[in-house]
Copies of this chain bind each other. A is one copy, B any other.
Amino acid sequence: MEFDCPVPMTQYSNILLAHGSGGTMMHQLIDKVFVAAFGSPELKAGHDGAVLDVEGRIAMTTDSYVVNPLFFPGGDIGKLAIYGTCNDLAMCGARPVYLTAGFIIEEGLPMETLWRIVCSMREAADETGVRIVTGDTKVVERGKADGVFINTAGVGFVPDARVIAPLQVSEGDVIILNGDIGRHGIAVMAGREGLSLETAIESDAASLAGLVNDVFDAGVNVHCLRDLTRGGLAGALVEIARSAGVEVVVNECDIPVTEPVRGACELLGLDPMHVANEGRFILFVPENDALNCLHCMRRNSLGENARIIGRVAHRQSPGSVRLNSVVGTSRIVEMIAGQQLPRIC
């Protein structure tokens, strides 16, 4: 989608503090930028909130986005703000439907930058089939934020009989991963640090709701879903092993990592298992459903490299994750303590 840049219409080429103060300048910013880009009937109604129809149960989630830089190979903060929150809803077994958007903008942000971001959000929202129904704008003084921070909260619909949660995970469940890991974190870091890698690495940022929906439509009995954002594949596996009280075993040789990502990780001393992704997730399904699940996923470009990476073992060491390495050894996978790559989402 292409919009003309609205800079002339807003009269200001940069965000001023006054754009956040509830007066005519804020209303102009909302009309000319946010409503113009997002254009949902609820936003146009100009009320403080949106009244919405729902079906059955809802899932609700929120994420704030503070990625630095705002634009990186394969994505930008706007795409992340839509994909990330919708992916979290999809991981609850929900179809994403409604989003809120809260902007905290640093005084001085070029209006054109803001416009590029909101257009990217609109594109991502259309692709995912969600509507941005209400929002909020705050402006803080120069130096009191870093360009723009975006919060999105989402509501999705969950069919009545569907329960997707760590506690559904059972011994014998197979773990499926939808593709290669580590690209998002490395792409953002390379963009931030100005690293010139031999091969350009693009973020894997993507909207997973459609693929997840395909899996449900195929009748797969999904037990649990988790996207591999902060903390990476290792973090997601440890979280679920702990919440479910199960032991998980994965095979390193089955976990795809592209050569450029592997090279960059070696150079930087990072473990791809801990690097963040924005379009990768794992599914826990009964063994009987694994082939049907793989077959269905591989028909979708976001799942064409889907494969089984491990399974839920006997409950000998509940809460632990064991990795069988390519060289035949076996080690326990831990969550990292603190930061590997800050501000990647």
What residues make up the interface of A, taking CB atoms closer than 8 Å to B?
Answer: 16-27, 45-54, 57-66, 88-89, 91-94, 98, 100-104, 133-136, 138-141, 143-146, 149, 151, 153-156, 158, 165-166, 226-227, 229-232, 235, 239, 243, 276, 334-343
CB pair B63 A102 closer than 8 Å: yes
A335–B21 Cα distance when bound, in Å, is 11
Cβ–Cβ < 8 Å partners of A91 in chain B: 47-49
Cα distance, A4 to B52, chains bound together (Å)? 40
Asked whether, in the complex, the Cβ of B102 is within 8 Å of the Cβ of A47, the reply is: no
A166 to chain B, nearest CB (A): 7
Residue on B nearest A136 in the bound complex, by CB: B63
Q: Indicate if the CB atoms of B50 and A61 lie closer than 8 Å.
A: yes
Write the nearest CB–CB distance from A236 to chain B, whole angstroms: 9
Taking a contact as CB atoms under 8 Å apart, the answer to whether B231 and A46 are in contact is no
Q: CB-CB < 8 A to A54: which residues of B?
A: 54, 57-58
A18-B337, A18-B339 known; A92 vs B60 contact (CB < 8 Å)? no
Please name 11 pairs of A and B residues whose Cβ atoms are closer than 8 Å in the assembled complex, sorted by A.
A19-B338, A21-B338, A23-B336, A46-B243, A49-B59, A49-B60, A52-B59, A60-B100, A61-B134, A62-B100, A62-B102
Query: In the complex the two chains form, is B140's CB within 8 Å of A276's CB?
Result: no
Chain B residue with the shortest CB-CB distance to A338: B18
- Given A64-B136, A133-B60, A146-B145, A158 and B51 touching (CB < 8 A)? yes
- Is the Cβ of A47 less than 8 Å from the Cβ of B166? yes
In the bound complex, CA of A65 to CA of B138 (Å): 8
- Chain B residues with Cβ below 8 Å from A133 are 60
Please name all residues of chain B whose beta carbon is closer than 8 Å to the beta carbon of A89 when the two chains form the complex. Answer: 49
Complex CA distance for A151 and B103, rounded to whole angstroms:
9
Q: Which residue of the partner chain, among B22, B151, B239, contacts A62 with CB atoms under 8 Å?
A: B151
Please report whether the interface of chain A is mostly helix, strand, loop or mixed according to DSSP: mixed
Q: Which of A16, A141, A342 has the most CB of B within 10 A?
A: A342
**Residues of B with C-beta under 8 A to A94:** 49, 51
Contacts of A334 in B (CB 8 A): 24
Q: Which residues of B contact A23 (CB under 8 A)?
A: 231, 235, 335-340
- Within the assembled complex, what's the spacing in Å between the Cα atoms of A61 and B47? 10
Find A48's partner among B53, B92, B134, B155 (CB 8 Å cutoff). B92
State the Cβ distance, A156 to closest chain B Cβ, in Å. 8
Contact residues in B for A27 (Cβ distance below 8 Å): 239, 335
A290 to chain B, nearest CB (A): 23
A229 touches B45 (CB 8 A): no
In Å, the complex CA distance between A89 and B100 comes to 13
Q: Does B135 contact A62, Cβ atoms closer than 8 Å?
A: yes
Question: When the two chains form their complex, are residues B155 and A58 in contact, meaning their CB atoms are under 8 A apart?
Answer: yes
Instruction: Specify which chain B residues have a CB less than 8 angstroms from the CB of A227 in the assembled complex.
Output: 48
**Known contacts A21-B338, A230-B21; A52 and B61 CB within 8 A of each other:** no
Q: Are B338 and A17 in contact (CB under 8 A)?
A: yes
Q: What's the minimum C-beta distance from A12 to chain B, rounded to whole angstroms?
A: 10
The 4 closest A-B pairs by CB, nearest first: A18-B338, A22-B230, A49-B61, A153-B153
14 more contacts with CB within 8 A, not counting A18-B337, A18-B338, A48-B227, are A24-B338, A45-B243, A49-B91, A51-B59, A51-B158, A52-B57, A54-B57, A62-B101, A65-B138, A66-B138, A104-B149, A141-B343, A145-B149, A153-B153
